Amino acid sequence: MPGNLAGRALESFVRDAAAAYLHQNCTAKMGRDEMSVVDGRLQIYGIDNLRIADGSIMPRVTTENTMAPCVIIGELAGEVIRRTHRI
């Protein structure tokens, strides 16, 4: 907490303390083009028995919070794994 600051001191505190909280996405894109890393079953191309199930597989950054898409990705992962292993 900045304490009892005003004027330039408060402005300086805000400028120095402000930070962005980014949601890292799209680093392991799902798709079929040459830039894609993951298929529709969340499997990494060229690596057996390894899946990615987080926001990194989104092909584009969402305009809203990433929580809802990540929940859906997790649901898909659960369903795919359940069917694959007949659980």
By annotation, the residues acting in catalysis are 23
The DSSP symbol for 68 reads H
Nearest-5° angle of CA 11, CA 15, CA 19? Answer: 145
Please enumerate in sequence order all residues whose Cβ is within 8 A of that of 54, keeping only pairs 6 or more positions apart, or say none: 70, 73
Helix (H, G, I), strand (E, B) or coil at 44: strand
